[in-house]
Structure 1
């Protein structure tokens, strides 16, 4: 009979490698920047684009001191999930992606490094991973911090290929495969008094609004608890508050929606909710016992993405 493998020790080299990988992951988590896009007017949209928007682009407004050799387009994801590429042609355009395959502890620093790379790269080149380093350029130094993103939301990835160019069979197959996995999405057009970035997404069985909020978490959670206790934590008929998740230092309330309604139909209910939430945020009174119970219940349904 052969020896049982149950008690056979694993090679020491494999164990050492696993321990090294675990330590590296722990160090990266410890060094991760809690709120990387803070200070930018587009913070909430940048978080949304990085975390859950499938396909969108926006031409970036660079900071005045940055020598702009070519325009730069921010994209949710680029082919191969690379950090950046420069599209060759009569008008060379730089593209940077926020959903990347390789990332460091500070996504804002990665994005800054990718933007600067597009200004010196040759047409047709791509950058697999951004070469950000401690003490290097920050995103606030590279982008105009007061500029919002003028977004174009796509329901496919045809924009990966320049207009008028017929992709080869392999590229066409990649685009079609990506298109099959995409979830229809739209940015809710909020009124001037509403804050944050509210995104509608059709996830299949349900539609949702995911609303990235800029307020400090404790203040926002208290305001949500006040609305919950008063029966105002909703977006009107056909909606239900589903919970919150935390990502990049911001809290994101999520609402389940009637998926038969068009995204534009949620703009007015969203503005009405924004007004209720603003009033709750302005309240300085201590939470009542019922509101504290609501807050505890809301926190029990909270998750952290990163």
Structure 2
């Protein structure tokens, strides 16, 4: 069984401050509305923690087979978002789809996913679960149901055509096709950036800028110190035409963001990011105290928070 690490909201939490869960919302508009217990790092202990954070926070259209701890009769696919922002659905052929980008008031996203998964494995084909509500009970968390050491083989899609499953032998309705068309119209082009030492790094074109968003598994203090060492040496960029924009917190992890040259193809960032990963690994391994210049760089980086658009 995976260890449950639950952190309650601090007493007297300022309702206007960001919620400790990492959602980016104000506390009063998130978990401050009730007495729910907040798990600040819901996917801790999973090898796929960074991938799940990316699926939840910024990947527009992505899917991956979910490696269950105990084999089931139905295959399970986890996805960024499902039609209607459903928490889960069972296709007519029996495949279970779990959605990450869903509305929830629970303080433990891992437990929500486990409840949705257990619902999907037992539900009738062709049905959907709009939200994980109080009607679903259970004490399992995702860490209890999947192989905690297995990787997640993510596929980033250019559109939402995968919402329609031809293998089910059914023709999609005009309403379904219209839903897919509307979703395709607003998708932001996104591709994974791959390389040695690179995981959960994604190029995205927002329409006005291109960015690299890189989910990091290290504790925040450790990754910020490493970035500060690089900043002090003038090595925090990814090459000409790039700029370190800042970072945001998501579910207990830090996600550094760089502005990129939009003219370059996503594949052209593989080498610069791989080279940077080697320098970052060396900075992470450096345990000497920060110099005064590095401390100033750390303080400056701490104030650089970005907002996703």
Q: TM-score with structure 1 length normalisation? A: 0.86
Unpaired segments ≥5 residues, structure 2? 1-27
- What's the counterpart of residue 173 of structure 2? 168
Q: Do 1:28 and 1:105's aligned partners in 2 also have CA atoms closer than 8 Å?
A: no
CA RMSD of aligned residues (A): 2.2
Q: Are 1:228 and 2:234 counterparts?
A: no
**Is 2:182 aligned against 1:180?**
no
Which protein is bigger by CA-based radius of gyration?
1
What's the offset of the Cα at 1:30? Answer: 6.3
| Distance (whole Å) between structure 2 residues aligned to residue 202 and residue 225 of structure 1 | 26
Q: CA deviation at 1:197?
A: 1.2
Q: What does 1:65-214 correspond to in 2, within 5 Å?
A: 68-89=72-93, 92-131=94-133, 136-163=139-166, 165-191=170-196, 194=197, 196-214=199-217
Call closer, same or farther: CA 1:24–1:245 in 2, change over 3 Å: closer
What is the CA-CA distance between 1:244 and the residue it aligns to? 0.8
How far residue 103 of structure 1 moved from its aligned partner, in angstroms, is 4.3
Q: 1:151 to 1:287 in 2, by over 3 A?
A: same
Report the secondary structure of 2:122's partner residue: coil
Assess if the C-alpha contact under 8 Å between 2:203 and 2:212 holds in 1: yes
Instruction: Tell me if structure 2 keeps the 8 A contact 1:44–1:197.
Output: yes
String of CA shifts for 1:220-264, please: whole Å, max 9, x gaps. 111101100100001122311110111100011100001111111
Report the secondary structure of 1:118's partner residue: helix
Quote how far apart the aligned CAs of 1:145 are. Answer: 0.6
3-state SS in 2 of match to 1:224: helix
Matched, 1:278 2:276: no
Structure 1 unmatched runs, 5+: 1-21
TM-score normalised to the size of structure 2? Answer: 0.85
Deviation at residue 195 of structure 1 after TM alignment: 5.1
SS in 1 for 2:166: coil
Q: After the TM superposition, which of the residue ranges 101-110 and 259-268 deviates more from structure 2? A: 101-110
Deviations along 1:9-61, one digit per CA (max 9) or x if unpaired, are xxxxxxxxxxxxx6984155862211001111110010001000000011111
Contact preservation (8 Å) 1:188, 1:266: yes
CA distance in 1, matches of 2:152, 2:212: 19
**In structure 2, what is the Cα distance between the partners aligned to 1:265 and 1:105?**
39
Q: Distance in 2 between matches of 1:200 and 1:103?
A: 30
Deviation at 1:190, TM superposition (A): 2.4
Q: Give the 3 Å change call, closer, same or farther, for CA 81–221 of structure 1 in structure 2.
A: same
In structure 2, what is the equivalent of residue 61 of structure 1? 67
